[in-house]
Amino acid sequence: MPYVLIIHKVADYPAWKAIFDAAAGIRREAGEIAYQVLKYDTDPNRIVHYSLWRSLEAAREFFESEQLVEIRARAGVETPEFIYLNQLERGELGMPR
């Protein structure tokens, strides 16, 4: 399964999140299937966006598009780091009792 891990610094998390949520439709159309948003425990404006994609090619095309460059600028995102990943294995260990 293809995943993308994005690490970026945002100027203001609530402002970023509003734009992120508003872009859900275009992300879905581009091929994003599922996502998680996480933050660093030491910096609430350092955000990690981890997402499952239809293909890495679709993800690259979307994240490198001019449309997304403009959206990132409006959202106050500093230059993000994109890491494109293919899943090797997945497992669940369950909750300890």
The pLDDT tens digits of the residues spanning 21-33 come to 999 999 999 999 9
Q: Phi then psi for 11, rounded to 5 degrees?
A: -70, -35
d(CA 42, CA 33): 29
* Domains, the chain, ordered by start: 2-86 (3.30.70.100)
What is residue 88's predicted lDDT score, i.e. its pLDDT? Answer: 94
The closest alpha carbon to 27, from 1, 2, 58, 73, belongs to 58
What is residue 78's predicted lDDT score, i.e. its pLDDT? Answer: 84
* H/E element, 84: strand 81-86
d(CA 20, CA 75): 8
Query: In the structure, what pLDDT confidence band is assigned to residue 20 with cuts at 50, 70 and 90?
Result: very high
